Amino acid sequence: MQSFQPPRRILMGPGPSDVSPRVLAALARPTIGHLDPEFQALMEEIKGALQRLFNAPDHACVPLPGPGTAGMEAAIMNLLEPGERCVVAINGAFGGRMADMADRAGATVVTVDHDWGLPVDPARVEAALADAPTKVLAFVHAETSTGAKSDAASLCAIARRYGALSVVDCVTSLGGIVVDVAGWDADVVYSGTQKCLSAPPGLSPIALSKRAQAAISGRKEKVRNWLLDFNLLMSYWGGEGGRTYHHTAPINALYGLHESLVAIFEEGQQAAIVRHARMHEALVAGLEAAGLSMLVAEAHRLPQLNTVRVPEGVNEAAVRAHVLKTWDLEIGAGLGPLKGQVWRIGLMGASATAWHVRLCLTALCEALNAQGFAADVKAALAAVDRKLA
C-alpha cells in the first residue's frame, strides 16, 4: 500500500462542498482524549454555537457521530414506537427515506406524496393529520434531490395544532437559508456538516425540544438504535463535568466543525445567507443566458442547490464526465424519477463564491458545446457580471 493522495476537486455537487483551508488545518490538530477537560470545554462551545446557529436556545443541541442520515435515523427512531402513527410528506428522495425509517421503527406510516420539484403542500398535510391522532409529522425543509424549499413554519404550526411532534430535515438548509427552530416551534431538527457549513461529512448537528426530550424519556420500549439513543447519548453530551462514557467521540471531526462555526459567525449568519442568495441569482442568470432552464419554480428554489434541466439530445452523464476530467469540477446527477433529466449544482458554504459560479458556467458551456448544444459562454458570464455589479 501507498499513501493516498486525492486529486484536487472543485466540489459543486449536492454535497460535500469545498472545505476551507482553515477547517482542514483544524482537522490536523493533535488528538486528545474524548473525556479530556479541554475537549469537554470544546464540547460546551459547540453546543452553544449550535443553539445559536439553529436559533434554538431552549433545545438540546449536539453533533451526532455520523452524516445527516444519522440525524434522520436518530429523530425517527427516538420518537417513534411500534404502532404509533407517523405522517411523512414526500417530495423527493429524502422524504422517502424518512418514510422507510419510520416503517423500520414499526410505526404506522402515512405518506403525503408530491411530484418531485414541488414544495410540500401544507393543506394536504393538514388533511392527513386531521384524519387520525398522529405522533410525528416529518418533512424535508430543503429537498436535496430536487432543490425545492418547503414552508417549515407553516408545517410545524400544523403539527402543533394537531398535537404531533415535528421532525424537520435541514441537512441542506442550515447555514444557507434561514433556519429558525424557535420561530417555527419545531421539535427535532437535524442537519449535516458537509453542505453549507463546509466541514467534512461525518457529523450531524441536531436540536431537540423539551417536548421531544420528554417523549423520548417516556418511551415504553427501548430505542431500536443504541448509538443514537438520546437517553444514553446525553449522558455524554448532557452537561459539563457530569459526562460518562458512551462512545469515543470523533475528536478531530469536532475540531473541524468548531472551526467552521467560528468562520460562519465571523462572516455573520445573515451575511452568509445573503451571499448564497446572490451567488444563486448570478448562476441562474448565467444558466438562462446559456439557454438552460431550472426545474423548480423561482419562488421555491433553494439558492444552495440548483437543479438544471438537461436539454433534449444532451447526454447528461457525458457532461458531468467532461467537467470532472477537464476542469476537476464535480456536479451532481438526478436521483429517482429525475435520473438523466437534471444536473444538481451546489453553491454551498465555501463553494458559494463568484469564482465558483464563473468557473462552473465556463466548464458547463464547454461541455455542452462539445455535444453540439450551442451554449454562449460570453453571454452567460456577462449575465453573471450584471447580477453581481
Do residues 279 and 357 lie in contact, with contact meaning Cβ atoms separated by under 8 Å? yes
Q: Do residue 43 and residue 173 come from a single domain?
A: yes
What is the pLDDT, as a whole number, of residue 243? 82
Q: What is the pLDDT of residue 241?
A: 58
Beta bridge partners of 86: 109, 136
Residue 123 belongs to a domain:
yes
Q: Is 228 found in the same domain as 124? A: yes
Range of the domain at 128: 20-265
CATH number for the domain spanning 220: value is: 3.40.640.10
pLDDT at site 198: 95
Last residue of a domain, one of 209, 230, 265: 265
What grid cell was written down for 380?
452567460
- How far apart, in whole angstroms, are the C-alpha atoms of residue 252 and residue 341? 39
| Per-residue model confidence (pLDDT) at position 188 | 98
Q: Is the residue at 3 inside a domain? A: no
Does residue 12 sit within a domain?
no
End-to-end CA distance of the chain: 51
Same domain as 42, residue 69: yes
Q: What angle do CA 171, 136, 62 make, to 5 degrees?
A: 40
- CATH number at 381 reads 3.90.1150.10
Mean pLDDT by 10 residues, the chain (389 residues): 97 97 98 94 96 98 97 98 98 98 98 98 98 98 98 98 98 98 98 97 98 97 95 85 85 98 98 98 98 98 98 97 98 97 98 98 98 97 97
Using the 3D structure, point to which of 265, 281, 301 is the last residue of a domain.
265
**For 164, how many CA atoms within 13 A lie in the half-sphere containing its CB?**
29
Grouping H, G, I as helix, E, B as strand and the rest as coil, residue 11 is strand
Grid cell of 267 as nine digits:
462572516
Task: Identify whether residues 280 and 210 lie together within a single domain.
Answer: no
Domain tally, the chain? 2
For residue 373, being part of any structural domain is answered with yes
In a domain, residue 215? The reply is yes
Determine contact, residues 330/194, Cβ cutoff 8 Å: no
Close Cβ partners of 266 (under 8 Å, ≥ 6 residues apart): none
